[in-house]
Every structure is written in structure tokens, then in C-alpha cells.
């Protein structure tokens, strides 16, 4: 491998070559993809890299790219091939005059790789918790142990509103499905260990939040999904431990009861549902 501490700087990022890894530091700037800025940096162990390519880019550039082993990175696993080329965190775009230098580092990297098939576990660290973002119909938050969805009355379906705010310990989850907010019907859905039947549409599923224009952007929702995915993997077949719900601000409870009353008056919830849900909200005080 090349001298420890060698740095190859490109547009939006710089790769620092170390004895056992490549540290990728992303720039902060108006032209840098927001996902890169949100990640800050990624340390990629050499054992996580399956191969390295160098190709001609657009408008006088060359592109150095690390191809990671399948299953080595929770971020790529959560993305499931949906990231646009310009948002690939392991793609370094360089001016054409650096092609010879890039070729040197590509050869050095290749010489240090063992190859290998799919990884048995994550080799690249997941984005750290706590994380949160606003989807179209909820605020999603993750503290490292529990995923919580707090519904917005302006966006959540009546099915979700009736179900109430949700909390899912990672020990109850078997996976995460992320569909990019840049495509139709983007959403983040939690996959439950109990294998319960879920509604076909994410907007009817209390274990899912839906994205919309300006809600659940890639740079917030994808690292969130990756962090949850890694925590689920680490939890293994642990026993289900009910999560204690956080105590709410009385003003917040009053607001939720007011909105519940509006749904009741509109005929969207029955008398029994209204009474039951109101009692649940009051119990949180």
C-alpha cells in the first residue's frame, strides 16, 4: 500500500490512504451533494473493498471508484441500488490532469485487496444515532435503540392517526425498506420480526412513513435507514423488550386531543375510538 497519510483530493471529497483503510472526507460546500455533507466522512477498511475502477468522466474528468463487497456497508444495503451516480459516496471525481496519479493509487489499492465475495457482516460503520427527519406524514426519530414515528395530522392517513404514534425497539425488527424520495411513492418501512401482514400501501401502514416533495430527503432519510439497519443486525435474535413511551408535554397532548376531536366530528373515528384514543393520550401526561 502507498505511504500512510497520502491524500488524493478531487471534487467534493478527498481520499486519505492508510495501511488498512481509506478515509474519505467529504467537502462542505454549496456544490457538494447534501448526502456527502451529511455523512461527513467514511472510513472504508480494505477488507470491505472488492475492486477499484478508473474511468473517463464528463467534461475533462476521470473517476476513481471503490466497489464495495456486497453486504459490507449498511448505507449501500439500505440504498439498494437507488442512489444516483453523482451521490455515490465511493466515487471520486478528479480533474483529467490527475489521471496518472489516480492510476497509481488505483494500482496500489488493487495490490492490497484480497478480493472476496459477499461480506458476512457490515465492515463499514453505520451513520451514528441519534437521527431524525421529517417525512410527509410523520417525524421519524431513532435513538439507537428505538424507532419512533410521530404522526402529523396534516399528512397522516386516518389509519395511522387511529393507530397512534408508534415506537419500535430494534429487537422487534428484522429489516428496513427504503424507497428513494426522488421516485414515485418513496417511503421508509420497518419490517417486523413477527411477520405480521402489512397493508400494501405505506400510507396505511403504521410501521412506515411516506416521503413527498421536500419531505424525507435522501441525505436525511438514507443515513437514518442505514443506522436502523445496522442496529437491527447487531440486535440479533434478541428477546422483544417493550419500549417505555416518553412523557409528553401537556400542551402537545391537548393539541393532539383537539385534532382527535376534529376527526371525530368529521366522522373519521367512531365514538369508541375517540374515547379510547383520548384515554391513551391522557395517560401519557
| Total-model pTM | 0.81
Q: Which of 2, 32, 27 is nearest to 17 (CA)?
A: 2
The predicted-structure confidence for 66-107, as pLDDT tens digits, reads as follows: 999 999 999 999 999 999 999 999 999 999 999 999 999 999
Residue extents of the structural domains in the chain: 6-112, 131-246
Q: In which element (H, E) is residue 3 found?
A: none
Cell (9 digits) for 57:
468522466
- At residue 38's C-alpha, the angle toward residues 136 and 50, to 5°, is 110
Q: Considering the chain, what percentage of its residues have pLDDT values greater than 70?
A: 89
CA distances from 7 to 60, 61, 99, 177 (A): 21, 18, 14, 36
pLDDT in tens, 2-31: 555 799 999 999 999 999 999 999 998 889
Check pLDDT > 50 for residue 239. Answer: no
Q: Quick one: pLDDT at residue 138?
A: 97
44-75: pLDDT as tens digits:
999 999 999 999 999 899 999 999 999 999 99
Looking at every residue in the chain, the average pLDDT score rounds to 88
For residue 90, the tally of other CB atoms under 10 A from its CB is 22
* The domains spanning 6-112 and 131-246 adopt the same CATH topology: yes
pLDDT tens digits, one per residue of 158-188: 999 999 999 999 999 999 999 999 988 899 9
Return the pLDDT at 3: 55
Residue 132 vs residue 271, higher pLDDT: 132
Name the CATH code of domain 131-246 (choices 2.60.40, 3.40.50, 1.10.287, 2.30.29): 2.30.29
Average pLDDT over residues 240-245: 33
CATH T-level topology, domain 6-112: PH-domain like (2.30.29)
Determine contact, residues 225/176, Cβ cutoff 8 Å: yes
Q: Return the H-helix or E-strand segment holding 221.
A: helix 218-235
Amino acid at each position: 500500500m502507498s505511504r500512510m497519510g497520502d491524500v488524493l483530493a478531487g471534487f467534493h471529497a478527498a481520499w486519505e490512504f492508510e495501511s488498512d483503510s481509506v478515509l474519505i472526507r467529504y467537502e462542505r460546500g454549496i456544490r457538494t451533494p447534501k448526502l456527502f455533507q451529511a455523512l461527513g466522512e467514511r472510513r472504508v477498511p480494505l477488507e470491505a473493498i472488492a475492486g477499484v475502477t478508473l474511468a473517463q468522466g464528463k467534461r475533462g474528468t476521470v473517476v476513481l471508484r471503490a466497489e464495495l463487497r456486497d453486504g459490507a456497508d449498511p448505507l449501500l444495503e439500505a440504498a439498494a441500488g437507488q442512489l444516483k451516480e453523482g451521490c455515490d459516496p465511493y466515487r471520486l471525481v478528479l480533474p483529467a490532469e490527475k489521471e496518472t496519479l489516480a492510476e497509481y493509487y488505483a494500482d496500489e489499492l488493487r495490490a492490497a485487496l484480497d478480493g472476496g465475495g459477499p461480506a458476512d457482516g457490515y465492515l463499514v460503520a453505520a451513520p451514528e444515532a441519534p437521527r431524525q427527519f421529517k417525512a410527509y406524514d410523520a417525524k421519524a426519530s431513532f435513538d439507537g435503540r428505538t424507532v419512533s414515528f410521530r404522526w402529523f395530522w396534516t399528512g397522516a392517513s386516518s389509519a395511522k392517526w387511529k393507530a397512534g404514534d408508534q415506537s419500535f425497539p430494534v429487537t422487534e425488527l428484522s429489516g428496513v425498506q427504503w424507497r428513494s424520495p426522488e421516485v414515485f411513492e418513496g417511503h421508509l418501512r420497518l419490517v417486523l420480526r413477527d411477520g405480521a401482514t402489512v397493508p400494501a400501501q405505506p400510507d396505511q401502514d403504521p410501521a412506515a412513513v411516506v416521503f413527498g416533495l421536500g419531505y424525507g430527503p435522501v441525505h436525511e432519510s438514507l443515513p437514518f435507514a442505514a443506522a436502523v439497519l445496522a442496529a437491527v443486525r447487531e440486535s440479533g435474535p434478541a428477546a422483544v423488550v417493550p419500549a417505555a413511551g416518553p412523557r409528553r408535554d401537556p400542551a402537545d397532548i391537548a393539541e393532539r386531543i383537539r385534532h382527535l376531536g376534529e376527526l371525530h366530528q368529521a366522522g373519521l373515528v367512531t365514538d369508541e375510538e375517540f374515547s379510547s384514543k383520548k384515554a391513551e393520550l391522557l395517560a401519557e401526561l
